[in-house]
């Protein structure tokens, strides 16, 4: 486990492993393309990743990024990433590796893939001003694009191997509650029922979530669904080596509240900080009621702690964080929504 962030490092790949290009992947390349070389690239918690070099029919070289996962979850992850990245690319094409395809191996129907254009990246965090400007642009310019004006997404998307309940909902309160319930259920499946946590779950759903999210839609206020990346942290954002511009990847996309994408920024393990939030709000104002802002972000953070607790079950601090942060909000809002 990393002493700096509390996050375990991703599994490193054998750089000498032979990467075979399945016929289903090859069929996604332009007609006449010839695979020159493919080798493992980078590190991943949940999948195998590779860099694929091809020569196009006219002799020009082109590089692709290939991600491979297995089983039903791997299939859902591959489809969700493709659909999510495709949605992001429609709004900020300059800020994501362009998705190409997803599918299932011809040679093994239990193996699935996601294919995108390869982008050479610097591992350091991107420039905070450039990234926050791009993130705000994503949120602002996508607000008219939800296909039905609702919160959710057409297909299930994933955070790591955790599915997100992205059922279409009329309000953000309803959407976030479904999202949280799915994460609470998956965390319970990993850790078992914890009486201390279970005692907090009911007041969280019956009091805290309505108290903090219902006012966004009441008393003349409203928010529009924004396309959110869904998992903004140092592992999913970088700098394009060629031009120094920011780029984001590995999303957990859906139409939600734009502030949802800020939840990781002040969590120490994600290496960002409050100045990222302040920079973002130079481009996008805080939602009304502004007095609830800090508590809304704290609520959204709990989702991230549930995810970390589920995906890294041996790092017990994450389960403890879920309980501690829930307890703070339950204590602060014992009466729930009172017409704020």
pLDDT tens track for 73-123: 999 999 999 999 999 999 999 999 999 999 999 999 999 999 999 999 998
Give the confidence band of 43 by pLDDT, cuts at 50, 70, 90: low
**Please, what is the end-to-end C-alpha distance for the chain in angstroms?**
43
By DSSP bridging, strand 61-70 and strand 158-159 are unpaired
CA dihedral over 177, 178, 182, 183, signed as positive or negative = negative
CB 105 within 8 A of CB 24: yes
Tens of pLDDT, residues 186-197: 999 999 999 999
β-sheet bridge partners, residue 254: 228
Mean pLDDT, the chain, whole residue set: 94
Task: Please tell me the predicted confidence (pLDDT) of residue 8.
Answer: 57
- Please say if the pLDDT value at position 5 is more than 60: no
Tokens of 337: 């929504």
CB 302 within 8 A of CB 205: no
Residue-range domains of the chain with CATH:
11-118 (3.30.200.20), 128-332 (3.90.1200.10)
Distance CA 52, CA 194 (A): 46
Q: Report angle CA 138, 143, 148 to the nearest 5 degrees.
A: 130
Tokens of 231: 């998992």
β-sheet bridge partners, residue 103: 113
β-sheet bridge partners, residue 246: 239
Give the confidence band of 46 by pLDDT, cuts at 50, 70, 90: confident
Model's pTM, two decimal places?
Answer: 0.93
Tens of pLDDT, residues 265-287: 999 888 899 999 999 999 999 99
């Amino acid at each position: 486990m990393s002493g700096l962030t509390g996050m375990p490092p991703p599994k490193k790949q054998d750089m000498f492993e032979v990467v075979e290009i399945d016929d289903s992947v090859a069929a996604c390349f332009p007609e006449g393309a010839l695979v020159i070389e493919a080798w493992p690239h980078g590190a991943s918690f949940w999948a195998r990743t590779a860099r694929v070099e091809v020569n196009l029919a006219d002799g020009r070289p082109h590089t692709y990024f290939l991600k491979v996962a297995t089983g039903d979850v791997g299939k859902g992850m591959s489809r969700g990433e493709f659909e999510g990245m495709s949605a992001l690319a429609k709004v900020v094409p300059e800020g994501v590796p362009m998705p190409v395809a997803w599918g299932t191996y011809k040679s093994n129907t239990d193996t699935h893939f996601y294919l995108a254009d390869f982008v050479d990246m610097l591992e350091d965090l991107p420039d905070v001003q450039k990234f926050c400007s791009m993130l705000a642009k994503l949120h602002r310019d996508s607000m008219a694009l939800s296909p039905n004006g609702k919160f959710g997404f057409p297909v299930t998307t994933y955070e790591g191997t955790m599915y997100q309940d992205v059922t279409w909902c009329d309000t953000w309160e309803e959407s976030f509650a479904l999202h949280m319930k799915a994460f609470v259920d998956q965390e319970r499946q990993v850790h078992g029922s914890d009486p201390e946590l279970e005692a907090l779950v009911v007041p969280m759903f019956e009091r805290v979530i309505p108290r903090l999210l219902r006012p966004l839609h009441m008393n003349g206020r409203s928010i529009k669904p924004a396309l959110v990346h869904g998992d903004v942290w140092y592992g999913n954002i970088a700098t394009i080596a060629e031009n120094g511009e920011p780029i984001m990847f590995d999303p957990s996309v859906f139409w939600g509240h734009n502030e949802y994408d800020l939840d990781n920024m002040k969590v120490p393990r994600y290496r960002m900080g409050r100045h990222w939030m302040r920079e973002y709000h130079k481009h996008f104002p805080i939602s009304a009621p502004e007095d609830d802002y800090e508590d809304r972000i704290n609520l959204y953070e709990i989702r991230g702690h549930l995810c970390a607790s589920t995906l890294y079950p041996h790092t017990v601090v994450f389960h403890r964080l879920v309980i501690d942060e829930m307890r703070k909000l339950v204590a602060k809002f014992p009466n729930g929504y009172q017409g704020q």
